[in-house]
Amino acid sequence: MWVKRWLLGRPLATAQVSHERLSNPVALAVFSSDPLSSTAYATEEIFLVLILAGTAALHYSIGISLVIVGLVAILTASYRQTIFAYPSGGGAYVVAKSNLGESPGLVAAAALLIDYVLTVAVSVAAGIAAITSAVPALREHRVALGLAAIVILTWANLRGVRESGRIFAVPTYLFVGGLGLVIMVGLGRELFGAPVDHAVPSVPAVEGLTLFLLLRAFSSGCTALTGIEAISNGVPAFREPVSKNAATTLTWMAVMLASLFLGLTVLAYLYGLVPREDETLISQIARISLGGGVFYYFIQAATAMILILAANTSYNGFPRLASILAQDSFLPRQMRSLGDRLAFSNGILILGLCAAVLLVIFRGDTHALIPLYAIGVFLSFTLSQAGMVRHWQDHKRPGWRKALAINLTGAVATGVATVVLALTKFTHGAWVVIVLVPLLIGMFRKIQWHYRIADWQLALDMYERPRTPPPNVLVMPISGVNRSIVMALDYARRCGEDLRAVYVDLDPDETIKIKGQWDRWGAGTPLVILSSPYRSFLAPLLNYIETVRQEQPGVWVTVVLPEVIPARWWQNLLHNQRALLIKAALLFQFRVVVIDVPYHLGPY
């Protein structure tokens, strides 16, 4: 227990929940680390596709970035509507389910669960890439470093949400400030006369510059938008008035995101940079703009920190969504409950585990994970916005037409983007998500179906309670006659009339001895001797229980197990092996009750 306390901190009372609210600057850090940090790899992903058509194609990156910034503006306007309409948290699942129905809701839920896991894996992989760009010697340890980061994140989140906020505020602002400096210094020098001198490599084209290639570049850049919905999910974490605070924070976040993304893309283009295997694009930009040295390492450290901590958005979102799904019986019911620290411990642990598995499978490579990433996000964007369109049709408050128009724009824009993403990334990994979503939905439905049947079978409406209790035969297997046995016998004699001790005969001499001892200590309880031609202890006992049940149909059999409990854990290896075997064999037996009667040995 104290280990748990030391690791996770004191438990928080339910009454403390309402105090676990975040101020706007802290909330900005907590919810924005995911979208802001994606600027660390979005530009590079665009360049990675365009470079296939040679260095000359790179100037399209500016246009593509502008389209994406346009999407940011549309989505921000859309989600501001959601925040005001759903002050208790308008995740895509809730919005889609309540407006469009259960099936679209489950599609959104499945897509979101997948993307929460991918956010953790991608962010951690990119964060480690920021570190290995600065310290190339660590490159070969990137999977181990990533796993360590996931373990630390999981631990921090099991501690609870407010401390998370504090942990994450500093790196987010360091990252924004640092990159802002890089962009301002870089652009200032390029525009006002002191351009940096650097070699511009010329990469030949390996593919033609087709529309499909441009759309693929756009799809890759769309990773910049991932996580933009986090604030609308987490509205209740804000201080009162929650909706207003959340909407303001969302706008701030969008402005920062657009500025950083656009600034970095323009700088990368002006510097004539190309993606490299061993160094990220953002590391190249920072190195050139600030000229290496201590500032450069500071930028890399801030980038690594915000990326690794960006995964925190998922640690807030995943368990919350899993809990909502569990309340609707789509996931196991134990995922409903809050842990001691106001965190949804089960969900946090599952998220950490899945992300760790992904990281190992993809060997910690960001580029390999990216194609799986954005498709789920955009699927949920689309369903969420479409749900809002229906919402305004049903709730015609003042100004509903304008709100509907905004959300309709959002739905169409993200819908088109989803189709583009699915088509251009399908063979690069998006098919995995397209296969996983229906599988997850199948699981949701199967679990809900099970709970429905179980609840129906357990319902008391039609239950005919027996007036007289069914007959009950108590069977106590004994391996000898000692205090533990006698104590269990005296206990069992109170539980029913028909008590029988059972001894499996493995050695005739021993059996005669036991019979004699039982005459003295058995208190008149009959002793049944079972023969065991195959020297098995278990089989004769199970056969005997079966015989009892066949003789008296409808009978309950209660097996009383005397157990010796030693004072130290390792001594358990020296006791109770038979009791364990018996319990394992009886676990799924019909109308068999097991009673464990402990006898505690003293320490010595």
| Nearest distance from C-beta of residue 450 to a second copy, angstroms | 6
CB of 28 to a second copy, least distance (A): 29
> What single DSSP character describes residue 280?
-
* Shortest distance, position 507 Cβ to a second copy, whole Å: 10
Distance of closest approach, residue 482 Cβ to a second copy, in angstroms? 4
Distance (Å, whole) CA 582 – CA 579: 5
C-alpha distances (whole Å) from 408 to each of 28, 81, 105, 416 are 27, 11, 18, 12
* DSSP reduced 3-state for 286: helix
User: Please, which residue, 176 or 545, has the CB nearer to a second copy?
Assistant: 545
Q: Taking a C-beta distance cutoff of 8 angstroms, is the pair 504, 530 a contact?
A: yes
Nearer of residues 10 and 397 to a second copy, judged by Cβ: 10
Closest approach of Cβ 364 to a second copy, in Å? Answer: 27
Question: At its nearest, how many Å lie between a second copy and the CB of residue 94?
Answer: 20
Smallest Cα–Cα separation from 342: which of 326, 322, 324, 319? 319
565: enclosing H helix or E strand = strand 556-565
Specify the residue, 412 or 565, whose C-beta has the smaller distance to a second copy: 565
Q: Tell me which amino acid residue 68 is.
A: I
> Smallest distance, Å, CB 435 to a second copy?
21
The torsion angles phi and psi of 276, rounded to 5 degrees, stand at -125, 150
- Report in angstroms how near the CB of residue 594 gets to a second copy at its nearest: 5
Cβ closer to a second copy: 397 or 535? 535
Residue 205 corresponds to which amino acid?
A: A
398 vs 466 by CB, closer to a second copy: 466
Separation between Cα atoms, residue 32 and residue 26, nearest integer Å: 10
- Please say whether the dihedral angle defined by the alpha carbons of residues 442, 107, 423 and 62, taken in this order, is positive or negative: negative
Tokens of 382: 């689309």
- Among residues 13 and 206, whose Cβ is nearest to a second copy? 13
Q: Is 596 helix (H, G, I), strand (E, B) or coil?
A: strand
Complex with a second copy: residue 244 or 578, whichever CB lies closer: 578
Of 309 and 502, which has the nearer Cβ to a second copy?
A: 502
| CA–CA distance, 501 with 347 (Å, rounded to integer) | 47
In angstroms, the CA 55 to CA 274 distance is 8
Contact call for residues 112 and 317 (beta carbons, < 8 A): yes
CA nearest to 32, candidates 173, 178, 134? 173
d(CA 121, CA 128): 11
Query: Which CB sits closer to a second copy, 189 or 500?
Result: 500
Q: Are 470 and 555 in contact, with CB atoms under 8 Å apart?
A: yes
HEC letters along 519-546:
HHHCCCCCEEEEECCCCCCHHHHHHHHH
DSSP state of 469: P
**Smallest distance from the beta carbon of 333 to a second copy, in angstroms?**
7
Q: Which of 523, 487, 494 is nearest to 598 (CA)?
A: 487
Residue 23 or 472 having the CB closest to a second copy? 472
Find the shortest distance in angstroms from Cβ 563 to a second copy: 10
